[in-house]
Amino acid sequence: MGTSESGSGGADPGTRPESAQAASDAAFALGAMQASRPAEGPAGIGQSIGTWLDAVQFDAQGLIPAIAQDAQQGDILMVAWMNRESLAETVATGRAVYWSRSRKRLWRKGEESGHTQTVLGLRIDCDADVILLEVEQTGGVACHTGRRRCFYRRLEDGQWRVTEAPLVDPETIYR
Protein backbone atom coordinates (compact mmCIF):
# COMPACT_ATOMS: atom_id res chain seq x y z
CA MET A 1 0.00 0.00 0.00
CA GLY A 2 1.53 3.22 -1.14
CA THR A 3 4.80 1.68 -2.24
CA SER A 4 4.31 3.16 -5.69
CA GLU A 5 5.11 6.52 -4.15
CA SER A 6 8.66 5.41 -3.57
CA GLY A 7 9.14 4.70 -7.27
CA SER A 8 9.01 8.34 -8.29
CA GLY A 9 12.75 8.79 -7.87
CA GLY A 10 14.53 12.04 -7.05
CA ALA A 11 13.29 15.42 -8.17
CA ASP A 12 14.85 16.84 -11.31
CA PRO A 13 17.61 19.18 -10.12
CA GLY A 14 16.83 22.76 -10.93
CA THR A 15 13.11 22.28 -11.15
CA ARG A 16 10.98 22.88 -8.15
CA PRO A 17 8.70 19.91 -7.60
CA GLU A 18 5.04 20.58 -7.17
CA SER A 19 3.63 20.15 -3.72
CA ALA A 20 2.33 16.63 -4.25
CA GLN A 21 5.66 15.58 -5.73
CA ALA A 22 7.52 17.17 -2.82
CA ALA A 23 5.45 15.22 -0.33
CA SER A 24 6.05 12.03 -2.25
CA ASP A 25 9.79 12.67 -2.30
CA ALA A 26 9.71 13.41 1.41
CA ALA A 27 8.02 10.10 2.10
CA PHE A 28 10.68 8.44 -0.04
CA ALA A 29 13.46 10.03 2.01
CA LEU A 30 11.92 8.99 5.30
CA GLY A 31 11.90 5.53 3.77
CA ALA A 32 9.51 3.92 6.21
CA MET A 33 7.62 2.21 3.43
CA GLN A 34 10.63 0.29 2.23
CA ALA A 35 12.75 -2.19 4.12
CA SER A 36 16.20 -1.50 2.73
CA ARG A 37 17.78 -3.71 5.35
CA PRO A 38 15.35 -5.77 7.37
CA ALA A 39 16.66 -6.22 10.88
CA GLU A 40 15.56 -9.80 11.24
CA GLY A 41 15.42 -11.75 8.02
CA PRO A 42 13.05 -10.94 5.20
CA ALA A 43 10.50 -8.64 6.77
CA GLY A 44 7.28 -7.60 5.13
CA ILE A 45 6.57 -3.94 4.66
CA GLY A 46 4.14 -3.96 7.55
CA GLN A 47 6.80 -5.33 9.84
CA SER A 48 9.26 -2.75 8.63
CA ILE A 49 6.84 0.01 9.60
CA GLY A 50 6.21 -1.62 12.94
CA THR A 51 9.88 -1.66 13.78
CA TRP A 52 10.32 2.11 13.94
CA LEU A 53 6.75 2.76 15.01
CA ASP A 54 6.93 0.29 17.88
CA ALA A 55 9.82 2.29 19.35
CA VAL A 56 7.58 5.34 19.76
CA GLN A 57 6.30 5.87 23.29
CA PHE A 58 2.69 6.97 23.12
CA ASP A 59 1.11 8.16 26.36
CA ALA A 60 -1.78 6.58 28.25
CA GLN A 61 -4.18 8.14 25.73
CA GLY A 62 -2.18 6.73 22.83
CA LEU A 63 -0.83 10.15 21.90
CA ILE A 64 2.54 11.82 21.46
CA PRO A 65 3.31 15.55 21.14
CA ALA A 66 4.58 16.55 17.71
CA ILE A 67 6.48 19.78 17.14
CA ALA A 68 6.46 21.28 13.64
CA GLN A 69 9.61 23.28 12.98
CA ASP A 70 10.17 25.25 9.79
CA ALA A 71 12.87 23.33 7.94
CA GLN A 72 14.49 26.47 6.51
CA GLN A 73 14.09 29.16 9.13
CA GLY A 74 14.10 26.93 12.19
CA ASP A 75 11.27 28.61 14.06
CA ILE A 76 8.63 26.52 15.80
CA LEU A 77 5.40 26.77 13.87
CA MET A 78 3.04 24.73 16.05
CA VAL A 79 2.66 21.79 18.38
CA ALA A 80 -0.07 19.20 18.02
CA TRP A 81 -0.68 15.57 18.91
CA MET A 82 -0.30 12.37 16.95
CA ASN A 83 -1.58 8.88 17.51
CA ARG A 84 -0.07 5.78 15.94
CA GLU A 85 -2.24 6.00 12.86
CA SER A 86 -1.52 9.66 12.18
CA LEU A 87 2.21 9.16 12.63
CA ALA A 88 2.22 6.20 10.25
CA GLU A 89 0.27 8.16 7.66
CA THR A 90 2.56 11.17 8.07
CA VAL A 91 5.58 9.06 7.23
CA ALA A 92 3.84 7.13 4.46
CA THR A 93 2.63 10.26 2.68
CA GLY A 94 5.23 12.88 3.62
CA ARG A 95 2.42 15.16 4.76
CA ALA A 96 1.79 16.07 8.40
CA VAL A 97 -1.23 14.30 9.86
CA TYR A 98 -2.19 14.96 13.47
CA TRP A 99 -4.82 13.67 15.86
CA SER A 100 -7.42 16.26 16.79
CA ARG A 101 -8.20 15.80 20.47
CA SER A 102 -11.23 18.09 20.26
CA ARG A 103 -12.73 16.47 17.17
CA LYS A 104 -11.43 13.00 18.04
CA ARG A 105 -10.36 12.20 14.50
CA LEU A 106 -7.39 12.36 12.16
CA TRP A 107 -6.52 15.90 11.22
CA ARG A 108 -4.76 16.08 7.90
CA LYS A 109 -3.15 19.47 8.32
CA GLY A 110 -4.44 21.76 5.60
CA GLU A 111 -7.46 19.65 4.77
CA GLU A 112 -9.67 22.70 5.18
CA SER A 113 -7.22 25.59 4.92
CA GLY A 114 -5.01 24.21 2.16
CA HIS A 115 -2.05 24.98 4.43
CA THR A 116 -0.51 21.54 4.26
CA GLN A 117 2.89 20.69 5.72
CA THR A 118 5.42 18.71 3.71
CA VAL A 119 7.54 16.70 6.12
CA LEU A 120 11.21 16.81 5.14
CA GLY A 121 12.55 15.12 8.24
CA LEU A 122 11.39 13.44 11.40
CA ARG A 123 13.23 13.20 14.71
CA ILE A 124 12.47 11.64 18.07
CA ASP A 125 13.85 12.52 21.48
CA CYS A 126 15.88 10.46 23.93
CA ASP A 127 12.80 9.12 25.72
CA ALA A 128 11.06 8.53 22.39
CA ASP A 129 8.03 10.43 23.66
CA VAL A 130 8.22 13.60 21.57
CA ILE A 131 8.28 13.86 17.76
CA LEU A 132 9.99 16.71 15.91
CA LEU A 133 8.91 17.38 12.33
CA GLU A 134 11.01 19.42 9.93
CA VAL A 135 8.37 20.88 7.65
CA GLU A 136 7.80 23.07 4.65
CA GLN A 137 4.67 25.09 5.39
CA THR A 138 2.43 25.60 2.38
CA GLY A 139 1.19 29.18 2.23
CA GLY A 140 3.52 30.25 5.01
CA VAL A 141 0.70 30.15 7.55
CA ALA A 142 0.61 27.41 10.19
CA CYS A 143 -1.70 28.97 12.79
CA HIS A 144 -5.47 29.01 12.64
CA THR A 145 -5.34 32.69 13.52
CA GLY A 146 -3.77 33.38 10.13
CA ARG A 147 -0.30 33.89 11.52
CA ARG A 148 2.90 32.24 10.38
CA ARG A 149 3.23 30.37 13.68
CA CYS A 150 1.22 29.69 16.80
CA PHE A 151 3.86 31.13 19.13
CA TYR A 152 3.05 34.76 18.39
CA ARG A 153 2.86 35.86 22.04
CA ARG A 154 5.90 36.66 24.11
CA LEU A 155 6.15 37.37 27.83
CA GLU A 156 7.24 41.00 28.19
CA ASP A 157 6.81 43.25 31.19
CA GLY A 158 4.76 40.60 32.88
CA GLN A 159 2.24 40.29 30.06
CA TRP A 160 1.76 38.06 27.04
CA ARG A 161 2.28 40.48 24.18
CA VAL A 162 1.31 39.73 20.59
CA THR A 163 4.48 40.19 18.55
CA GLU A 164 3.27 39.40 15.07
CA ALA A 165 0.17 40.10 13.01
CA PRO A 166 -1.91 37.69 10.91
CA LEU A 167 -0.69 37.28 7.34
CA VAL A 168 -4.14 36.32 6.16
CA ASP A 169 -7.66 36.84 7.48
CA PRO A 170 -8.55 33.66 9.36
CA GLU A 171 -12.10 34.04 8.07
CA THR A 172 -10.81 33.36 4.57
CA ILE A 173 -8.86 30.25 5.62
CA TYR A 174 -11.75 28.12 6.77
CA ARG A 175 -14.54 27.95 4.30
Q: According to the binding rule CB under 8 A, does residue 2 interact with a second copy?
A: no
Task: Considering the complex, state which of residue 67 and residue 168 has its C-beta at the smaller distance from a second copy.
Answer: 67
The neighbour count for residue 130, using CB atoms within 10 Å, is: 16
The interface mask with a second copy, positions 136-155, x = CB under 8 A, is -------xxx-x--xxxxxx
Tell which one of 9, 12, 55, 171 touches a second copy (CB under 8 A): 55
User: Of the ranges 9-17, 61-69, 109-117, which one interacts with a second copy (CB under 8 A)?
Assistant: 61-69
Residues 6 or more apart whose CB falls under 8 angstroms from that of 27 comprise 2, 5, 6, 33, 91, 92, 93, 94, 119
Which amino acid, 169? D
> Minimal distance in Å, beta carbon 57 to a second copy?
12
Between 18 and 146, CB nearer to a second copy: 146
- The Cβ of residue 103 has, within 10 Å, a number of other Cβ atoms equal to 8
Identity of the amino acid at 71 = A
The widest CA-to-CA distance across the chain, in whole angstroms, is: 60
List the interface residues with a second copy, window 99-138 (CB under 8 A): 121-128, 130, 132
Stretch that binds a second copy, among 10-18, 67-75, 108-116 (CB under 8 A): 67-75
Q: Is 168 in the site for a second copy (CB under 8 A)?
A: no
Nearer to a second copy, 82 or 91 (CB): 91
State how far the Cα of 78 lies from the Cα of 101, in Å rounded to an integer: 15
- Sign of the four-CA dihedral 57, 81, 123, 127: negative
- Tell which residue, 52, 54, 57, 15, has the closest CA to residue 31: 52
Residue 92 near a second copy by CB under 8 A: no
**H or E stretch covering 91:** helix 84-93
Kindly tell me which of 14 and 55 has the beta carbon lying closer to a second copy: 55
Q: Which residues bind a second copy (CB under 8 A)?
A: 29-37, 39, 48-49, 51-52, 55, 65, 67, 69, 73-76, 78-79, 91, 121-128, 130, 132, 143-145, 147, 150-160
